């Protein structure tokens, strides 16, 4: 099994899981501060490695009127401040070649959005930074299709690869998570991250925005993490109904500690079981 280092965090399907957690998109300073400080306090209490995530620009929106975020310049300034003020690693997504260099100066992990994971030029530019790359598996790809993306990144001498599952298209306005598919992603030996938040989406389900099923967040996270994964990707919000983006999928912040307590217990149990090879 391969390990990917992010600051002092070692991500591996065999290590204790790491948490990639934060906001879907950067909002007000008040919301950002509350999310960062409460999540940091909880993860320290539970001894869970924590990487903060938030997008500076959500380019893939249902409607032209949807909130996209502060943009790259202001957004990266905010992410840099969070990184320096709280001494935590940062992940965010890039959408174009021009974004990669300035983002790489700030981020500890570069994320490639699902709909862009086959864009060779973008993958090349990200791989050349030598930073860890979290590749969201597109909703229309099979687990096996990720082999080509892995090979693209490796061709630019970057082995810092994270594979992220975020659900697969299943008819209109619906996503499913294939647990066998998650196991197949693990067969590549790279750390696998489960994005429970976006797997709960019902794309376009509200017409001009995405619907979601956050009431199933714990059920889905427990199901996936029972496979023994490197990390969980989770978005939280102090008031999901007032979130500026993807509120229907976000976990209420006040439930985070109890949520993570169960995930940590399950992760520990799973990774301490003896390996049983079935042939």
Q: Where in the sequence numbering do the catalytic residues fall?
A: 24, 58, 246
Q: Is 272 exposed, middle or buried, given 0-12, 13-18 or 19+ CB atoms closer than 10 A?
A: exposed
Q: Is 44 exposed, middle or buried, given 0-12, 13-18 or 19+ CB atoms closer than 10 A?
A: exposed
Bridge partners, 90 (sequence order): 52
Dihedrals φ, ψ of 173, to 5°? Answer: 55, 35
* Angle CA 68–51–231, to nearest 5: 105
- Which pair of structure tokens corresponds to residue 164? 């992220």
| Cα–Cα dist 69/276, whole Å | 46
For 60, the enclosing helix (H) or strand (E) is none
| Cα–Cα dist 110/126, whole Å | 7
Name the 3-class secondary structure at 246. coil
């Amino acid at each position: 099994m391969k390990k990917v280092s992010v600051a002092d965090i070692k991500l591996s399907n065999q290590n204790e899981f790491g948490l990639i957690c934060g906001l879907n998109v950067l909002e007000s300073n008040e919301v950002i501060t509350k999310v960062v400080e409460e999540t940091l306090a909880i993860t320290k209490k539970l001894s869970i490695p924590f990487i903060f995530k938030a997008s500076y620009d959500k380019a893939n929106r249902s409607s032209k009127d949807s909130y996209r975020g502060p943009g790259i310049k202001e957004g990266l300034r905010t992410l840099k401040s969070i990184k320096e003020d709280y001494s935590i690693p940062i992940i965010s997504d890039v959408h174009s070649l021009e974004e990669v260099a300035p983002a790489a100066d700030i981020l500890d992990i570069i994320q490639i959005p699902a709909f862009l994971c086959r864009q060779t030029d973008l993958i090349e530019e990200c791989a050349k930074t030598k930073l860890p790359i979290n590749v969201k598996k597109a909703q229309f790809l099979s687990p096996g299709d990720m082999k080509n993306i892995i090979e693209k990144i490796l061709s630019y001498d970057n082995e810092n690869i994270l594979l992220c599952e975020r659900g697969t298209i299943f008819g209109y306005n619906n996503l499913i998570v294939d647990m066998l598919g998650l196991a197949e992603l693990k067969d590549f030996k790279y750390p696998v991250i489960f994005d429970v938040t976006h797997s709960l989406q019902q794309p376009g389900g509200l017409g001009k925005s995405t619907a979601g099923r956050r009431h199933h967040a714990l059920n889905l996270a427990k199901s996936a993490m029972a496979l023994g994964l490197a990390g969980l990707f989770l978005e939280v919000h102090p008031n999901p109904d007032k979130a500026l983006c993807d509120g229907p999928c976000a976990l209420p912040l006040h439930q985070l500690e109890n949520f993570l307590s169960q995930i940590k217990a399950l992760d520990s149990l799973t990774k301490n079981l003896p390996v049983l090879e079935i042939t």
